[in-house]
Structures are given as C-alpha cells and as structure tokens.
Amino acid sequence: MCFEGEVEGHQVVACVLTVGSSGNENYECHCHPGWNPIPGSPNGPHNTLCEDISFPTWTSPPEIKSQSLSRFFERVQDLHRDFKAASAQDTIQDIIQEVDNLLETPGDLFTLPHSEQYCVATNLLTGWEHILRELSKALSNGTLTFRTAAGTELSLEVKKQGDKNVTLSINQAKMLVNWDVVQDSGGSGPAVVGLVSSPGMGKLLLEAPLFLETEKQSVLNETHKGLQQEVSPVLLSDVISAFVSNKDTQNLSSPVTFVFKHVSAGETGLWVLCAIIAGALHYLYLASFTWMLLEGLHLFLTTRNLTVVNYSSVSRFMNKFMLPVGYGVPVVIVAISAASRPHLYGTPARCWLHPEKGFIWGFLGPVCAILFVNLAFFLMTLCILKSKLSSLNSDVSTLKNTRMLTFKAIAQLFILGCTWFLGILQVGPAAHAMAYLFTIINSLQGVFIFLVYCLLSQQVREQYRKWWKGVRKTKAESEQYTLSSGILSDAPKHSVVKDDGFTAEKRKLSQF
C-alpha cells in the first residue's frame, strides 16, 4: 500500500506498508528526490511533510567594493533563478566552476587590502559550503566526484540511511567519518557528507593571520620560541572545505579524521638555503647596478675631459674609487636589510625578497635611483658630445675618436641598464611582448660590454698588440737561442779551438 498527497503546498508521502509474519504493520515513509522532510516533521504513515529543495541565499559582503565580485554574485543569482531540483548536480558543478572562474580571473579582487581579501575568502567558503550542503540533498543515493580544469575537486556521498563509516578522498586530503555524525539530528532526510579542495582559494588567504585557542597558542609559542616573530603563516596544502548534513558540529558522538597531503618544502621554496639564495641574489643584483652607476659616472667624466692629461687623472681616480664602491655599497645595503628583517628573505613561491612591509624596496629603491641617475648621465654625455662635434676642426684623429665616443655613448644605453625600464611596461595586453623584449635585450648586456670594452676599445687593442708582439719576440728569441745552442754543440766537430785565441769560425759565431 502507498499513500501520497499534498497539504497546504507541501507534499505528503507515506510509502510501503508491510505486514510482518506476526501480523504487525510497518510503514516506511520518505520523500521523493528533490524534496526534503520539514525539520520536526513526524514519521507517521500519513503525515510526513516534505518540501522542495530550495537554492539558499548567497549575497556579497556589503562592505566589499569589487566589480569582479559583483559580477560573480550576478551569475550566482542567475543560477538561483534557473534552479530546479532535478538538475541539482549540474547546478553544483556550475557553482564550483563559477568560483574557479572568479579566482582564475580575479580582476580588481586582488587589489583589495588583505583584510578585505580575507573577508571575501570567508564569504566564499561559508556560502559555498551552505549551498553544496543544501543542493546535495536533492541528489539520489550515491557518490559524486567532480574536478575542474583549475584543479578544484569535489567528492560527496548521499545516503538516506547509514550506520557505517564513510571515507572521502581527493588529491590533497582524506576524510573519515561515521554516518552518526553526518546525519542531522531530528531529520529523516538524506544525509550528505562532502569534501572540497580549492587550490585557487589560497591566493585570497596569502599571509592571513593564524588564530588559535589560547592553550594551543601558548604551546606553539613555547615550542617555536624566537622563530615566530613577524613571520606570516604559510599554506602547505590546498584550501580544504568539509561539510555534513549535521550543522551542530560542536559536540560530535564520534571523531572525524582528516589526512592532509602537504606540499613538500622543495615545491614551495621554503628551505632555510632559500633565504641564503635570496640574500645572495639581492647582493649580486645590487652590485651589478652599482657597477652600472660607476660606468655611467666614468663615461660622463671621460667625455667631459677629453684631453689626455684630464683623462689620465680621471682614470687614476676611478681605479681607486671603483672597487670599494662597486662591491662595498651593496654589502652595506644587504647587511642593513638582513639585520632588520632576516625572515623576509625568501617567499613561499620563490627565493627572493618578500614584499611584506615594503621590504622589496631594499632592492627597488637603489635600482630606481641608479637607473634615473644613469639616464641623466647618458643625456648629459650626449649633450657634451654634440657640443664637441660642432666645434671640431679638421683633425682626422680627433674626429675619429669623437665618433667612436658617440657610438659608445649610444651603446651605453644598454650597458647602463636603461633597458630595465622595459620592465615597467609589462602591463596590459602588451605585457607578454614586453616581457620577451625585456628578457632578450637584457640578456645581451654582456655582448654589448664585450663589443664596447674589448673589440672597440683602443686601449684594449693596444694591449693586445703589445701582448702579441711580446709573444712573437719571445718566440723569435727562443728560436735564436735554440739555433745558437745547436751551433755551439756542433762547434768541436768543425773547428779547432786553440788555447791562446779564437779561430775564424769562433769569431763568426760570436758575430751571429
């Protein structure tokens, strides 16, 4: 026997009357898929009340002003309007995909202050859990797994009744729970347990503070005393969200076990050498830019003092000045940075300076200053050369030298690091093209240095000529010495040397 009907807009279902061998009657009542028992509804044969599964309300945090977030919630409202219980599985997948799209193309979302980003992450996680919990009740019995192209994973199980343990697994985590914990107290509908892994959510939780209970915080402070000062927590796995039908999770009848797969240290760059490498890169890059500054100064002074006497005095001054400044100034900057905030050397993603608290300006500040000063040196050098060229006489050698200086001055545009300004243009639709151009041109800096300071340098060429002449002279003297030694060794066979003087052949040998 089966009874079905409606009472005041609710569906009433009482199904399957069974008669036992002793004559006892037993009714098993349940709701159709897409309908859910009203909380507190009795389980009698004719009075179980069911209501249609509804799409929960999910709105944007009112204090957050973000166009990307507004567009996201507009799409959520579209899904709300079009929702039907029969298509709950498709709607669940659409919700997950929309969250992925928001995190993949955040727009102005990641320009918000960190505190507002954390608020958005909290809203997404709680709203996501609530919707998945409610919409999953419209699914048929069984397991649903889903994975997006961005790496978000969902694993959930729906059962009308259950009395055993259930295990849900995704790539980064595993959950073991008993159905007694999953089922909603006082509810007779299907029980739902789900596990979601979202790698993109970690972007919004970057540098989020860690809040622990007082006892756990004191234990952590004692265990890692001296290591936590101004150190931000780091996510070692994807953001994992778990939900069950039972909303009262404060006092569970049995434990819930989670097994997390942490990202290894090598994958995140969190390895103690990371700080050393970051410090070494900081020093080497600063040294490179400091030498660019010194070269700009040297070029300017050389151009301004084109006479031999002045040039010699400039060279002597620069030779004494370059080494201590070129290698000493970067040491001072790195030492101050390391002494003030050593823990900010190295980030979770790369071995470089952490952007927290403006620490990155320990590199960007000197670099920007050097680039602007070198650009000023370059422009002043061009002005001086233009003045020199306009006042030249017909002296060919002076004309040739000045033309060479002009060519070198233009080549210095690359050597002085002015091409690093291309890095500023890596924005908008041309970002990729500018990134390639920046990389190619700056990787050729060594080639420009070789051309200007080796192939086109008169002093270097003169030194090479002297070296080559010295090699040829040494070779000729060696050959002459070998020939002389050979003649001396043959002398007893062809001449007779008297004790009282030289023979004719001996005199010829000495003349040779």
pLDDT at position 302: 78
| pLDDT above 90 for 46 | no
pLDDT band at 104, cuts 50/70/90? confident
| Structure confidence at residue 501 (pLDDT) | 45
Average pLDDT over residues 291-311: 75
Mean pLDDT of the chain: 76
Q: Is residue 272 scored above 70 in pLDDT? A: no
For position 26, what pLDDT does the model report?
A: 60
Contact in structure between 175 and 195 (CB atoms under 8 Å)? yes
- Dist. CA 352–CA 220, nearest whole Å: 27
Query: For a pLDDT cut of 90, what percent of the chain falls above it?
Result: 14
| Residue of 366 and 387 predicted with greater confidence | 366
Q: Please tell me the predicted confidence (pLDDT) of residue 4.
A: 47
Above 60 in pLDDT, residue 382?
yes
Q: How far apart are CA 325 and CA 318, in angstroms?
A: 10
What local confidence, expressed as pLDDT, does residue 506 receive? 40
Q: How many CA atoms lie within 13 A of 328 on its CB side?
A: 7
pLDDT confidence bin for 72, thresholds 50/70/90: very high
Mean pLDDT, range 350-371, rounded to an integer = 86
pLDDT for 496 equals 44
Strands of 173-178's sheet in order across: 165-169, 173-178, 257-260
pLDDT confidence of residue 185? 64
Residue-level pLDDT at 499: 47
The tokens describing 505, both together, are: 């052949």
The pLDDT score that the predictor gives to residue 45 is: 47
- Whose tokens are 């890059």? That residue is 285
pLDDT at 503: 45
pLDDT value for 161: 66
Give residue 286's pLDDT band: very low, low, confident or very high (50, 70, 90).
very high
Q: Tell me what the mean pLDDT of segment 10-39 comes to.
A: 56
Of the listed ranges 38-52, 63-77, 373-387, the least confidently predicted one is 38-52
Label residue 191 by pLDDT band (50, 70, 90): confident
Residue 19: phi, psi to the nearest 5?
-115, 120
Banded pLDDT at 94 (limits 50, 70, 90): very high
Q: Residue 363 in contact with residue 286, Cβ under 8 Å? A: yes
What's the pLDDT score for residue 282?
94
* Confidence category of residue 123, pLDDT binned at 50, 70, 90: very high
pTM: 0.47
With 50 as the cut, is the pLDDT of residue 12 above it? no
**Higher per-residue confidence, 77 vs 404:** 77
9: confidence class by pLDDT, cuts 50, 70, 90? very low
Q: What is the pLDDT of residue 34?
A: 52
- Residue 161 has what DSSP assignment? S
The 153-159 sheet, strands edge to edge? 142-147, 153-159, 191-198, 239-244
